[in-house]
Amino acid sequence: MSANAVIYGLGGLELTADEKAFFRDADPWGFIVFARNIEGPKQLSKLTLSLRDCMGRDVPILVDQEGGRVRRLRPPSWREMLPAQVYGDLYLREEEAAIEAVWLNHRLMAEEMRAVGIDVDCVPCLDLRLPGADAIIGDRSFGETPEPIIQLGRAAMDGVQAGGVAPIIKHIPGHGRADADSHLELPVVREEHGLLLETDFAPFKALNDAVMAMTAHIVYRDIDPDHPATTSQAMVQDIIRGEIGFGGLLMTDDLSMKALSGTFRERGEASIQAGCDLLLHCNGEMSEMIAVAEAAPKLAGKALERAAAAEAVRENIESFDAQAAESRLNTLLDLAKA
């Protein structure tokens, strides 16, 4: 039985009666948790179990766990996780050490997530880190050029997948040149299409076999001056599916971000019409979720096939010695500090 093409956040540390009733009716494909939903491992495990009990199936549960500024599982209950730039800087000195360190870090992340019922991670961030751009990406990026991002992004993808966690490449087709924070306003990228293909789009093209991707709420003026990528047929069909060749499950970035305009139903409908497979709504506001639900169709056809492929990642977990992996990772990270 297919679910509806939407992922929701929720309000607090446990499901409310109103949320349970809404989620059963709205039948989302999955959920996403944030810091407001996390007190510790025992509580989070109980919450993820209650979400699956509520839906009566093994729904995917997502988290943004990159490291650095963007991490929801934090010390003291979980490991300290460094930002991507640390690994990118190591790559410039010791390529193989950096690739191994990224794989180990993400494999350990998968182990920690699966232990509390989370099986989808919004990593890796494949955006470039570019001078003069808004700081929203910054040290979340593996580098200033495509090559380290491609190599380390692949290691991140492989690491979480080896632990039965589905990765989401983001923010397709590239957030690195954004002149604003899309949480707050609509960014515009003014560079020519040809340059973007050689730079910003290149990591996504190289990793176009990823099972999932998240769109960028950004206008690429040389391609579609009127719509951000999330709601642009030209960007989704011609660039993301065509030029980049991404064939996996395509989800929007958060529909509640201020980069988008219109009602929440309009935002959702425009995203689906552009070619996105899934809608994402994060803040847990009930009135907004109800409006998004009106725009979310049943997963069907190619979108349903892509969703099934993403879910299947959870079934293949490779054997792993976490203690040995953490020791080796710490040794490699000492190189980064030297």
Please give the Cα distance from 103 to 110 (Å, whole number).
Answer: 11
Please give the Cα distance from 295 to 255 (Å, whole number).
Answer: 12
Please give the Cα distance from 6 to 162 (Å, whole number).
Answer: 26
Q: Which residues lie closer than 8 Å to 264 by C-beta, 6 or more apart?
A: 255, 256, 281, 288, 291, 292, 295
Q: Does 106 qualify as catalytic in the annotation?
A: no
Please give the Cα distance from 235 to 258 (Å, whole number).
Answer: 20
Task: Pick the catalytic residue from 18, 53, 58, 183.
Answer: 183
- Helix ranges (DSSP H) in 30-165: 41-55, 84-93, 95-115, 146-162
Task: Pick the catalytic residue from 253, 254, 277, 281.
Answer: 253
- Helix ranges (DSSP H) in the chain: 17-26, 41-55, 84-93, 95-115, 146-162, 193-198, 202-206, 233, 264-274, 286-293, 301-312, 322-337
Phi and psi, residue 137, nearest 5°: -90, -70
Please give the Cα distance from 220 to 162 (Å, whole number).
Answer: 35
Please give the Cα distance from 287 to 270 (Å, whole number).
Answer: 19
Distance of CA 259 to the CA centre of its chain: 17
Q: Does 27 qualify as catalytic in the annotation?
A: no
Please give the Cα distance from 293 to 297 (Å, whole number).
Answer: 8
Active site residues: 183, 253
